[in-house]
């Protein structure tokens, strides 16, 4: 019943547009489609299924339209689109399907980093939500090679649109056809066997300076995708209600992992990371967060780890049952003062190995903190030193009998206590 309603609603979207002809290829905005009964609609192709084309309007509404009910010119356009988006002969079934979306009005891809396994068959779908045309070209590793390819594309001049702004260049590996506004383009390729970082970029004139990303070819696939961070400034002792605080900014995390270096703030700030995590199989997953100061890990909007408060870098774990597939993940963090640290890791079902989901590796836990070794005999010894997990102004105190403590002078508290 739902599909019938979708079709009927989308059918009604075809409205008469007087004085507007078919969009030219070089004009911005979605294509104008013509129904045989004279009605028209501006939309882009999502996909073609059997005898229907799925169209999507600039306001995000989508639905199927029978190919036979469209004009001859539209049917010829769809036939060409199918040809441009077909896999190469004998390509077979792709090992991995990746979707990258352009962000409307921002000249950005929604994924600044994608990870693929060496030698695997990749189907990459570029979904263009923008009012301009875009493409995606993958180049050889090396600084500046993506810009060299883009600059060569700009030399195409008047032939650029006909050639999808894809030049002949020795540094170019793979490239999609140009995606029309609010439409899509599909690229099929086999990932390089050599591990490394392969830049990708939009080669349309003026786009390459900001519209770019990195394809990481690695045997260790990053399960995180579409990871963003929202920065907040303020002083807290507990994780606040972020919805009641004005954010200082939001952007994609360039490293593709939980990473505090995405901000230059060092004191009195908070970050909320949001993204998706791909569970390779169904089962019980163990997550671990180690932070200085407070943190919280949320999966599918359910709190799994609550490590709130002002404290040194200490770990806390939690378990959650996940089905195979993509799940929403959120990590909230705040830094009150002193040292700042954030580690996130997980163990997949059946494995004892913990895999880091953050740029920082897991701190060596369970042992005495590293620092200057003092032999204490008859009286307490006090010294100033850096002790991991105790902040940037740590004061160590050693007592007779092997009792030691680390005092965090930034937050006026005992950060840790140990024997030996």
Based on the fold, state whether residues 100 and 73 are members of the same structural domain. no
In a domain, 89, yes or no: no
Based on the fold, state whether residues 79 and 156 are members of the same structural domain. no
Based on the fold, state whether residues 39 and 131 are members of the same structural domain. no
Based on the fold, state whether residues 100 and 15 are members of the same structural domain. no
In a domain, 247, yes or no: yes
Based on the fold, state whether residues 238 and 317 are members of the same structural domain. yes
Based on the fold, state whether residues 246 and 340 are members of the same structural domain. yes
Q: What is the CATH number of the domain that holds 20?
A: 2.30.30.700
In a domain, 366, yes or no: no
Based on the fold, state whether residues 352 and 230 are members of the same structural domain. yes
**Separation CA 153–CA 247 (nearest Å):** 39
Number of independent structural domains in the chain: 4
The token pair that represents 390 in the structure block:
């105790």
Alpha-carbon distances of 306 from 220, 298, 333, 337, 401, rounded to whole Å: 28, 9, 10, 20, 35
**Separation CA 12–CA 292 (nearest Å):** 55
Based on the fold, state whether residues 104 and 131 are members of the same structural domain. yes
Query: What pLDDT score was predicted for residue 391?
Result: 63
Q: Of 196, 217, 238, which residue sits at a domain end?
A: 217
Query: What pLDDT score was predicted for residue 416?
Result: 74
Residues spanned by the domain of 398: 381-419
Q: Of 165, 184, 217, which residue sits at a domain end?
A: 217
In a domain, 361, yes or no: no
The Cβ-side half-sphere exposure at 147, using a 13 Å CA radius, reads: 5
Beta-carbon contacts of residue 383 (< 8 Å; ≥ 6 apart): 372, 374, 395, 396, 398
In a domain, 365, yes or no: no
**Which regions of 308-393 does DSSP assign to beta strands (E)?**
314-322, 325-335, 341-347, 355-356, 381-384
Helix, coil or strand: residue 250: strand
Based on the fold, state whether residues 209 and 251 are members of the same structural domain. no
The Cβ-side half-sphere exposure at 191, using a 13 Å CA radius, reads: 28
Based on the fold, state whether residues 103 and 211 are members of the same structural domain. yes
Based on the fold, state whether residues 46 and 117 are members of the same structural domain. no
In a domain, 27, yes or no: yes
Q: Of 35, 63, 84, which residue sits at a domain end?
A: 84
In a domain, 375, yes or no: no
In a domain, 271, yes or no: yes
**Per-residue confidence in pLDDT tens, the chain, 420 aa:** 444 344 434 444 554 333 333 334 333 467 899 988 888 888 888 889 888 998 888 887 888 899 999 999 999 999 999 998 899 998 999 998 899 999 988 899 988 889 999 999 999 999 999 989 999 999 999 999 999 999 999 999 999 999 999 999 999 999 999 999 989 999 999 999 999 999 999 999 999 999 999 999 998 888 998 899 999 999 999 999 999 999 999 888 888 899 999 888 888 999 999 999 999 999 999 999 999 999 999 999 999 999 999 998 889 999 999 999 999 999 999 999 877 899 999 999 999 999 999 988 776 554 444 444 444 455 555 555 556 666 656 677 776 666 777 777 666 667 777 765
**Separation CA 381–CA 30 (nearest Å):** 73
Q: What is the CATH number of the domain that holds 296?
A: 2.60.120.260
Q: What is the CATH number of the domain that holds 200?
A: 2.60.40.420
Based on the fold, state whether residues 55 and 177 are members of the same structural domain. no
């Amino acid at each position: 019943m739902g599909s019938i309603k979708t079709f009927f609603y989308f059918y009604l979207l075809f409205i008469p547009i007087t004085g507007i002809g078919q969009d030219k290829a070089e004009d911005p905005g979605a294509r104008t489609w013509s129904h045989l009964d004279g009605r028209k609609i501006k939309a882009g192709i999502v996909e073609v299924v059997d005898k229907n084309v799925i169209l999507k309007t600039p306001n995000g509404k989508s639905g199927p339209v029978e190919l036979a009910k469209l004009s001859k010119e539209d049917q010829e356009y769809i036939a060409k689109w199918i040809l441009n988006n077909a896999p190469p002969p004998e390509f077979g079934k792709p090992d991995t399907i990746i979707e990258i979306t352009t962000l409307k009005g921002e000249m950005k891809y929604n994924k600044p980093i994608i990870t693929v396994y060496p030698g695997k068959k990749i189907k990459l779908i570029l979904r263009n939500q923008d009012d301009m045309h875009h493409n995606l070209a993958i180049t050889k590793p090396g600084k500046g090679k993506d810009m060299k390819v883009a600059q060569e594309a700009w030399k195409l001049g008047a032939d650029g649109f006909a050639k999808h702004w894809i030049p002949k260049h020795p540094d170019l590996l793979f490239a999609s056809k140009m995606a029309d506004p609010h439409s899509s383009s599909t690229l099929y390729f086999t990932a390089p066997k050599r591990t490394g970082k392969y830049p990708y970029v939009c080669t349309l004139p003026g786009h390459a300076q900001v519209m770019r990303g990195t394809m990481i070819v690695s045997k260790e696939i990053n399960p995180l995708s579409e990871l963003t961070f929202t920065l907040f400034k303020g002083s807290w002792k507990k994780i606040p209600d972020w919805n009641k605080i004005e954010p200082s900014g939001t952007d994609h995390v360039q490293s593709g992992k939980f990473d505090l270096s995405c901000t230059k703030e060092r004191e009195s700030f908070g970050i909320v990371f949001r993204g998706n995590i791909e569970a390779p199989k169904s089962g019980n997953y163990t997550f671990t967060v180690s932070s200085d100061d407070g943190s919280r890990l949320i999966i599918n909007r359910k709190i799994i780890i609550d490590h709130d408060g002002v404290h040194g870098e200490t770990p806390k774990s939690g378990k959650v049952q996940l089905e195979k597939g993509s799940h929403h993940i959120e990590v909230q963090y705040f830094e009150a003062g002193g040292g700042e640290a954030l580690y996130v890791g997980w163990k997949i079902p059946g494995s004892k190995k913990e895999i880091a989901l953050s740029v920082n590796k897991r701190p060596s836990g369970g042992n005495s903190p590293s620092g200057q070794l003092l032999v204490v005999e008859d009286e307490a010894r006090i010294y100033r030193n850096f002790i991991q997990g105790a902040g940037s102004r740590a004061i160590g105190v050693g007592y007779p009998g092997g009792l030691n403590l680390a005092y965090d002078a930034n937050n006026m508290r005992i950060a840790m206590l140990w024997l030996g």
